[in-house]
């Protein structure tokens, strides 16, 4: 399977399409919601990514609807897209687990185990 | 009523603005996605917003640029044509310039001139012909670093694109940057590698011999006016190839015309600013320089003619398909 190896927006776009097909603005809103407004997709980023993902068969156009006189094209995640996203998510989770486990052993130059404390206060989550 | 009309005017103005911005996209992409993209842009607009956001317009412009240059091969026929022309033009330019570099070194080697630019150029050409895009891009970056490092500092402080030395430096940097963009990771390998390698070998040998036999070169640069007969012959050959292809495809006529454009740089500027000393006493060489310049003008005309033929063909085909039952 070809690894995703792509940027964060691409990963987030695929994530936004997991539960249901969404149109362009729906993807923008869902990515904003997933990231707690940290990532605000620009139109060029969104359609550049959708074009690439469609070419690679990871997403596909699901249906067209016209709402208030405007065309809304819905995109859905394909089986290949879900598999690639799952592999990428596993890889990222493994990388994150390594980082967390190493950070727990990290001692700051001043001798305080500050990062350990920060990780523990979050319940071990990032 | 008046408030409703104002709101409608604002929306119309915004929509018009975004429609204009979407025209920055390639035509085929517009046909497929412009309406849905307009919907996304309008949905994301703030209440009362009457003008497109600059960052959205910039984003559309960047997408248009990317679609035209980076993923042109996956786009419509226009994008593929532009990419095919650009790749051939760059490769032809590199091969021709490699000949000049070999000539320069064949002459300059007697005084121990560095061989590094030749190796870089050869590496770039081989990588491009073989389709090793990462290798070609890395070598182009190394060449850019070499040019920036070796250009005398007065180039950057006083020279412009329109000065003699500045033109050579800026043109070289532009072509190297264009190579990095056009020969991207997904670009198809250029066809006819045997033909390209044969042309490279022939040009190398011819210019090397010429460089060894030339009496004197006034400056150690790649200005072809030192030995203009051989370049003039190549320009004439390019005209023949362009004439042969002009009715069938725009790729080669346009590529050859583009590849020859730098000829108007150094040589022509020297005509304007000062008569090249190596031509002062040689009417024959002057004729060859003018022949090469004339051939480039003919190539540009042939490129335009090939586009006109292509347009005519497309219209004729469209009408015939419409007439067909």
- Helices B251-260, B283-323: axis angle to 10 degrees equals 150
Q: Output the 3-class SS for A7-56.
A: CHHHHHHHHHCCCCCEEHHHHHHHHHHHCCCCCCCCHHHHHHHHHHHHHC
pTM for this predicted structure: 0.56
A99/A105 Cα distance (integer angstroms): 10
Range in B6-10, B61-65, B217-221, B280-284 the model is least confident about? B217-221
- Helices B27-43, A43-55: axis angle to 10 degrees equals 130
CA distance B205 to chain A (A): 44
For chain B, list residues whose CB is within 8 angstroms of any CB belonging to chain A: 29, 33, 35-44, 55-56, 58-63, 66-67, 71, 74
CA distance A51 to chain B (A): 10
Quick check: B36 and A73 CB within 8 A?
yes
Mean of the per-residue pLDDT values of chain B: 78
Task: Please give the backbone phi and psi of residue B6, each rounded to the nearest 5 degrees, phi first.
Answer: -60, -45
Tens of pLDDT along B112-171? Answer: 446 777 888 899 999 999 989 889 999 999 988 888 777 665 555 554 445 555 666 778
A20/A76 Cα distance (integer angstroms): 7
Chain A positions touching B71 (Cβ under 8 A) are: 51-52
Cβ atoms of B179 and B89 within 8 Å: the answer is no
**How many residues make up chain B in this entry?**
325
Instruction: Identify the bridge partners of residue A65 per DSSP, sorted by sequence position.
Output: A72
Chain A positions touching B58 (Cβ under 8 A) are: 44
**CA distances, A11 to each of A38, A99, B73, B161, B302 (Å):** 14, 20, 24, 43, 47
Pairs of CB atoms within 8 A across A/B: 59
Across the interface, of B37, B55, B58, the residue whose CB is closest to A47 is: B37
Nearest residue of A to residue B34, measured between CA atoms: A71
pLDDT grade for B89, boundaries at 50, 70 and 90 = very high
Mutate to test the interface with A, among B12, B39, B41, B52 (most CBs of A within 10 A): B39
CA distance A11 to chain B (A): 19
Tens of pLDDT along B197-243? Answer: 999 999 999 988 888 887 766 654 556 767 788 888 999 999 999 99
**Enclosing H/E stretch for A60:** strand A59-67
């Amino acid at each position: 399977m070809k690894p995703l190896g792509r940027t964060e927006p691409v990963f987030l776009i695929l994530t936004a399409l997991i539960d249901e097909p969404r149109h362009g603005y729906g993807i923008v809103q869902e990515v904003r919601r997933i990231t707690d407004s940290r990532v605000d997709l620009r139109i060029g980023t969104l359609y550049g990514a959708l074009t690439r993902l469609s070419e690679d068969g990871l997403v596909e156009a699901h249906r067209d609807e016209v709402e208030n006189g405007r065309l809304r094209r819905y995109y859905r995640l394909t089986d290949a897209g879900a598999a690639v996203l799952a592999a990428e998510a596993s890889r990222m989770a493994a990388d994150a687990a390594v980082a967390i486990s190493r950070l727990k052993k990290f001692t700051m130059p001043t001798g305080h185990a500050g990062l350990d404390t920060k990780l523990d206060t979050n319940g071990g989550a990032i | 009523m008046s408030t409703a009309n104002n709101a409608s005017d604002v929306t119309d103005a915004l929509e018009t603005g975004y429609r204009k911005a979407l025209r920055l996209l390639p035509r085929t992409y517009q046909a497929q996605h412009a309406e849905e993209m307009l919907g996304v842009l309008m949905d994301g607009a703030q209440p009362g917003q009457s003008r497109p956001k600059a960052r959205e317009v910039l984003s559309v412009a960047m997408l248009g640029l990317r679609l035209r240059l980076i993923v042109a091969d996956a786009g419509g026929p226009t994008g593929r044509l532009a990419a095919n022309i650009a790749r051939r033009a760059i490769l032809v330019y590199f091969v021709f310039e490699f000949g000049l570099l070999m000539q320069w070194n064949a002459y300059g080697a007697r005084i121990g001139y560095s061989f590094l630019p030749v190796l870089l150029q050869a590496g770039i050409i081989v990588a491009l012909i073989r389709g090793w895009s990462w290798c070609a891009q890395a070598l182009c970056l190394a060449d850019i670093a070499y040019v920036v490092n070796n250009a005398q500092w007065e180039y950057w402080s006083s020279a412009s694109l329109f000065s003699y030395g500045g033109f050579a430096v800026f043109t070289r940097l532009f072509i190297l940057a264009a190579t990095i963009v056009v020969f991207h990771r997904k670009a198809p390998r250029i066809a006819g590698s045997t033909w390209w390698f044969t042309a490279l070998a022939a040009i190398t040998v011819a210019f090397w011999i010429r460089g060894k036999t030339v009496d004197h070169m006034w400056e150690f640069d790649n200005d072809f006016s030192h030995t203009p007969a051989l370049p003039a012959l190549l320009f004439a050959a390019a005209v023949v190839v362009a004439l042969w292809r002009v009715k069938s495809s725009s790729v080669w006529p346009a590529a050859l015309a583009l590849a020859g454009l730098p000829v108007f740089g150094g040589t022509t500027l020297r005509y304007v600013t000062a008569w090249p000393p190596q031509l002062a006493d040689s009417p024959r060489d002057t004729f060859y320089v003018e022949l090469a310049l004339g051939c480039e003008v003919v190539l540009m005309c042939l490129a335009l003619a090939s586009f006109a033929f292509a347009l005519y063909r497309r219209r004729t085909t469209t009408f015939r398909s419409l007439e067909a039952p």
